[in-house]
Amino acid sequence: MKKLLQAILIVLVTTTAAYSQRGQNLARIHAAKMAYITDRLNLSTEQSGSFIPVYNQYEREIRDTRQSFMGKYKGTNPDEADDATSRQFIDDNLDYQQAVIVIKRKYNDRFLKILSPQQLADLYKAEREFRQILMQRLKERRGERGGRFNR
């Protein structure tokens, strides 16, 4: 069952990158991620029904925090930044990382109402694994197309 789910995940991720628009890609990637996490954590139907809405909130807060930080420096070339700008970036980056930690601590209690401590530990591991799989697939797709990173 896990191998089938992983195969579906791989097909979804690779075909998504090739044939869909960005918004549809993100939705498909999110669906694949949720399937991967649900399977990795061996969630029961009841757990899954409670977990997914809380996880979606958690992801939204993390994403909003990241976008706020990244938006502040959009269009800034780090190679051309002066010392003051570089120092501000370092401080803002530390603030961003602290904000993510605060969000994770807040959601740990919510997750532990649904998940066992082992499942919660596995959640963070599954997120990292999924990110690695996704990055590998994107790298492979760029390599197949002779993308700008394959010179």
Q: What is the tens place of the pLDDT at every residue in 47-67?
A: 999 999 999 999 999 999 999
Q: What is the tens place of the pLDDT at every residue in 10-46?
A: 555 555 445 446 778 888 889 999 999 999 999 998 9
E strand spans, 10-151: none
Burial 50-63 (b: 16+ CB within 10 A, else e): bbeeebeebbebee
The chain-wide mean pLDDT, for the chain, equals 84
pTM over 0.75: no
For the CA atoms of 38, 34, 120, 127, what is the dihedral angle to 10 degrees? 130
All structural domains of the chain with their residue ranges = 1-43+119-151, 44-114
* Cβ atoms 22, 149 nearer than 8 A: no
Phi, psi of 148, rounded to the nearest 5 degrees: -65, -20
